[in-house]
């Protein structure tokens, strides 16, 4: 059992008409300007309407593949594909279907229900471990019902974990939560039979231990998770920004925020290498997705990253909103290393 990541930046990917190669696709994402009609796919695809920065094409496709054939399914609105002990799923939930009542917002209700469905699917499939989650929602920093929407999302997510008897601290997945201009609550996830090792950042307070000033429920995610399979180790880094301890640093300075975010990525990678003892992950060999709040800041972000990475490093830049209003850039990443004795 293995898991591989690829994107169509400079290379062809399997299409819906592909034969055996397409059968090994778990799922993926389509990122960019999504105004044009999209061809149908045999695998679940998360549509991320975030304009690309510095790319010649309007959209980029990313895929997760395995070494064996996949089986497709649908469960309570979740489109999923499974290959042995790994599952990739995508669901979209319309907030208007969850009318706000009392202190609970529509987003909070939609989030809680979405995670309930994910956990029910994982139980039905016998795959108890949630490795990685990608969350996208509109107007992430707007305040409604007396609370910022990102904090409403955190309440719904946290309460779903608790309702299913799952840990809300420590053993939690890697994740990002990003704001788009419009669209439904969209969640993609990877779940598996094998447990992942949570990795924290010694430079930061764990997100699930943030103080109450950051909302009535803390964010439920680890800074990264390390997955060890028979023949590979895979590192998933959560969305990482210019935060030291639990506070934003360098407000208003895009270059310094980019340096600080990359310093946090480096600290998480170092911690993963310390705990792995089998392979070594290096910053230039990771695949990155970088969200920039203001498109005009893209050249400054790219300049900072280019000094630490190299031309062969795979980086996708997109314009999107970050979970705190004073954060200007967020970096997520992943990498897989082959185990020599695998």
Q: Distance (Å, rounded) from C-alpha 172 to C-alpha 206?
A: 11
How far, in whole angstroms, is CA 237 from its chain's centroid? Answer: 8
Q: How far is the CA of 242 from the CAs of 203, 256, 259, 313, 331, in angstroms?
A: 11, 8, 8, 21, 10
Q: Distance (Å, rounded) from C-alpha 148 to C-alpha 102?
A: 16
User: DSSP readout, 232-299?
Assistant: EEEEEEEEE-SEEBTEE-STT-HHHHHHHHHHHHHHHHHHHHHHHSS----GGGSEEEEEESSGGGHH
Q: Distance (Å, rounded) from C-alpha 69 to C-alpha 71?
A: 7
- The residue with tokens 């996708």 is 316
Residue 251's CB is within 10 A of a number of other CB atoms, namely: 14
**Closest C-alpha among 187, 23, 182 to residue 90:** 187
Cβ neighbours of residue 252 under 8 Å, at least 6 residues apart? 326, 328
Partnered with residue 331 across adjacent β-strands are 240, 290
- Identify the helix (H) or strand (E) that includes residue 4: strand 4-7
Q: Distance (Å, rounded) from C-alpha 206 to C-alpha 220?
A: 10
Partnered with residue 289 across adjacent β-strands are 316, 332
Residue 340 bears catalytic tag: no
- Annotated catalytic residue: which of 23, 260, 330, 332? 330
Show which residues are catalytic.
Answer: 330
């Amino acid at each position: 059992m293995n898991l591989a990541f690829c994107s169509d930046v400079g290379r062809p990917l399997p299409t819906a008409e592909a034969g055996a190669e397409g059968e090994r696709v778990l799922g993926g994402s389509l990122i960019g300007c999504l105004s044009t009609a999209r061809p149908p796919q045999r695998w679940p695809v998360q549509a991320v309407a975030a304009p690309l920065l510095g790319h010649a094409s309007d959209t980029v496709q990313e895929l997760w593949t395995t070494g064996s054939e996949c089986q497709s399914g649908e469960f309570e609105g979740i489109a999923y594909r499974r290959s042995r002990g790994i599952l990739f799923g995508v669901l979209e939930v319309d907030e208007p279907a969850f009318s706000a009542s009392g202190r609970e917002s529509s987003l909070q209700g939609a989030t809680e229900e979405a995670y309930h469905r994910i956990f029910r699917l994982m139980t039905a499939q016998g795959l108890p471990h949630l490795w990685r989650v990608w969350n996208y929602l509109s107007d992430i920093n707007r305040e409604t019902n007396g609370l910022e929407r990102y904090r409403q999302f955190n309440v719904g997510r946290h309460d779903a974990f608790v309702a299913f008897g799952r840990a809300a601290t420590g053993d939690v997945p890697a994740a990002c939560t990003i704001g788009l201009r419009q669209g439904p609550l969209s969640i993609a996830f990877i779940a598996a039979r094998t447990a992942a090792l949570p990795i924290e950042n010694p430079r930061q307070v764990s997100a699930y231990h943030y103080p109450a000033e950051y909302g009535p429920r803390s964010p439920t995610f680890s800074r990264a998770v390390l997955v060890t399979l028979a023949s590979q180790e895979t590192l998933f880094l959560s969305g990482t920004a210019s935060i030291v301890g639990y506070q934003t640093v360098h407000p208003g300075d895009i270059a310094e925020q980019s340096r600080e975010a990359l310093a946090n990525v480096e600290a998480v990678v170092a911690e993963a290498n310390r705990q792995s003892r089998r392979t070594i992950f290096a910053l230039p060999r990771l695949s990155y997705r970088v969200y920039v709040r203001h498109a005009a800041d893209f050249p400054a972000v790219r300049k900072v990253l280019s000094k630490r990475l190299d031309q062969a490093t795979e980086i996708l830049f997109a314009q999107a909103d970050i979970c705190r209003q004073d954060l200007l850039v967020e970096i997520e990443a992943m990498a897989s290393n082959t185990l020599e004795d695998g």
